[in-house]
Amino acid sequence: MRTIFMILCSVLLTACGTQQQQIATGDNSRNALDWSGIYAGWLGSDSVQTVIRLNENDTYQMERTTKDGRPETSDGSFEWNKEGGAVAIDGKSYRVGENRLDLLNEQGQPAGSLVKLDNPLQEKYWKLVELSGNPVTTAEGQREAYIIFKSFDNRYHGNGGCNGYSGGYELLDNGRIKLLPAISTQMACPNGMDTEAALHEVLRKADTYIVTGDTLVLTKARMAPMARFEAVYLR
């Protein structure tokens, strides 16, 4: 009798364990979707431009552009709900869907959506690290040279090491890009002017971009890389 009781207990424990495992590994957004990446769109009653990057290690970076054009950034860790279908970021809940994030209101209803970007060029802070095969260094007191390609209005902006600049761009087929002439401030700096002049020359000539992982190369046709950048996300 005791042997039968022990067998029954063993069967019940195994069944419970299997059921719990099935619940834990059931399909949900967290384990069934390719959710890591960059999402962009307009949120809130004021239609604030919002960019959120979700990383595989459950960290995030967020950038919100205010009415006066100033970016507000935040970062940290996010938490999944117990169902694995939504994440909590900065005290707000976002439902994770196929290539989208839906901001949820207090009643759990969608109050705006962000769409996952499919082009790795956009919404990244690309730090300039090489020009014509030569490494670029940032001297003490000098601004870091970089470029960002925004997804909202197809404009790029950045700094050449001294002056800020901005312009428009158009993405074409097969990794081609059309960069419209940049408008730049006209400050004079003791350092960085040579790098800045060379970078603007690249922006005038480049018609091709290649993104490999966290590296961006700008070049002209099949020529050698004119400029190389490394990604620093949402900075």
The pLDDT value given to residue 23: 42
Q: What percent of the chain has pLDDT over 70?
A: 89
**Candidate from 96-105, 133-142, 180-189 with smallest mean pLDDT:** 133-142
Q: Which residues contact residue 200 at a Cβ distance below 8 angstroms, ignoring those fewer than 6 apart? A: 160, 165, 182, 184
Is residue 4 predicted with pLDDT exceeding 50? no
The mean pLDDT value for 196-214 works out to 96
Mean pLDDT (the chain, rounded) = 87
Share of the chain above pLDDT 90, in %: 70
> Average of pLDDT values for 128-137?
95
- Write down the pLDDT at residue 235: 55
Of 163, 127, 117, the C-alpha closest to 148 is 127
Q: Does the predicted model carry a pTM greater than 0.95?
A: no
Residue in this structure with the two tokens 């999402």, named with its chain if needed: 39
